[in-house]
Amino acid sequence: MMRITLDSEACQGHGRCYTLAPDLFDSDDEGYAVLKVDGEVPAGMEEQARLAADNCPEFAITVED
Ligand code: F3S
Protein backbone atom coordinates (compact mmCIF):
# COMPACT_ATOMS: atom_id res chain seq x y z
CA MET A 1 0.00 0.00 0.00
CA MET A 2 1.36 3.39 -1.01
CA ARG A 3 1.00 6.31 1.38
CA ILE A 4 0.86 9.98 0.46
CA THR A 5 1.39 13.02 2.63
CA LEU A 6 1.04 16.72 1.97
CA ASP A 7 3.06 19.32 3.85
CA SER A 8 0.58 22.20 3.88
CA GLU A 9 3.21 24.55 5.30
CA ALA A 10 5.40 23.96 2.24
CA CYS A 11 2.60 24.27 -0.33
CA GLN A 12 2.71 27.57 -2.22
CA GLY A 13 -0.29 26.94 -4.44
CA HIS A 14 1.44 26.02 -7.69
CA GLY A 15 -1.51 23.78 -8.50
CA ARG A 16 0.29 21.04 -10.36
CA CYS A 17 -0.90 18.38 -7.93
CA TYR A 18 -4.63 18.93 -8.40
CA THR A 19 -4.15 19.37 -12.15
CA LEU A 20 -2.14 16.16 -12.55
CA ALA A 21 -3.82 14.12 -9.83
CA PRO A 22 -7.41 15.36 -9.52
CA ASP A 23 -8.53 12.14 -7.83
CA LEU A 24 -6.10 12.73 -4.99
CA PHE A 25 -5.97 16.51 -4.63
CA ASP A 26 -8.36 19.41 -4.55
CA SER A 27 -7.69 23.12 -4.17
CA ASP A 28 -8.94 25.30 -1.37
CA ASP A 29 -10.41 28.77 -2.00
CA GLU A 30 -6.93 30.27 -2.23
CA GLY A 31 -5.47 27.66 -4.57
CA TYR A 32 -3.58 25.67 -1.99
CA ALA A 33 -3.65 21.90 -2.13
CA VAL A 34 -6.02 19.75 -0.11
CA LEU A 35 -5.50 16.00 0.03
CA LYS A 36 -8.71 14.14 -0.77
CA VAL A 37 -7.58 10.79 0.57
CA ASP A 38 -6.64 9.77 4.08
CA GLY A 39 -2.99 8.80 3.77
CA GLU A 40 -3.44 5.60 1.79
CA VAL A 41 -3.42 5.90 -2.00
CA PRO A 42 -6.38 3.94 -3.40
CA ALA A 43 -5.54 1.10 -5.79
CA GLY A 44 -4.99 2.34 -9.32
CA MET A 45 -4.03 5.88 -8.31
CA GLU A 46 -0.36 5.21 -7.64
CA GLU A 47 0.72 6.82 -10.91
CA GLN A 48 -1.18 10.02 -10.09
CA ALA A 49 0.43 10.05 -6.67
CA ARG A 50 3.93 9.77 -8.14
CA LEU A 51 3.20 12.42 -10.77
CA ALA A 52 2.00 14.86 -8.13
CA ALA A 53 4.99 14.25 -5.89
CA ASP A 54 7.47 14.52 -8.78
CA ASN A 55 5.97 17.77 -10.08
CA CYS A 56 5.45 19.83 -6.94
CA PRO A 57 8.08 22.59 -7.12
CA GLU A 58 8.03 22.96 -3.32
CA PHE A 59 8.53 19.23 -2.60
CA ALA A 60 5.41 19.41 -0.45
CA ILE A 61 4.17 15.95 -1.46
CA THR A 62 5.76 12.71 -0.31
CA VAL A 63 4.87 9.20 -1.39
CA GLU A 64 6.09 6.03 0.31
CA ASP A 65 5.67 2.48 -0.94
FE1 F3S B 1 0.98 23.08 -3.47
FE2 F3S B 1 2.78 21.70 -4.71
FE3 F3S B 1 0.29 21.30 -5.23
S4 F3S B 1 2.95 23.84 -4.14
S5 F3S B 1 -0.72 23.25 -4.89
S6 F3S B 1 1.30 20.92 -3.29
S7 F3S B 1 1.92 21.35 -6.71
13: left (phi over 0), alpha (psi -120 to 50) or beta: left
CA nearest ligand 1 atom 1, residue: 11
Q: What is the DSSP string of 17-52?
A: HHHH-TTTEEE-TTS-EEE-S-SBPPTT-HHHHHHH
**CATH code of 41's domain:** 3.30.70.20
Q: Would the pTM of this model clear 0.90, i.e. be above it?
A: yes
* Residue ranges, the chain, pLDDT below 70: none
CA nearest ligand 1 atom 6, residue: 11
Q: How many domains does the chain have?
A: 1
> What pLDDT does 31 receive?
98
- The H or E element that residue 53 is part of is helix 46-55
Atom of ligand 1 nearest to the CA of 25: 3
Atom of ligand 1 nearest to the CA of 18: 3
Q: Which domain holds residue 21?
A: 3-64
Per the DSSP assignment, residues forming a β-bridge with 61 are 6
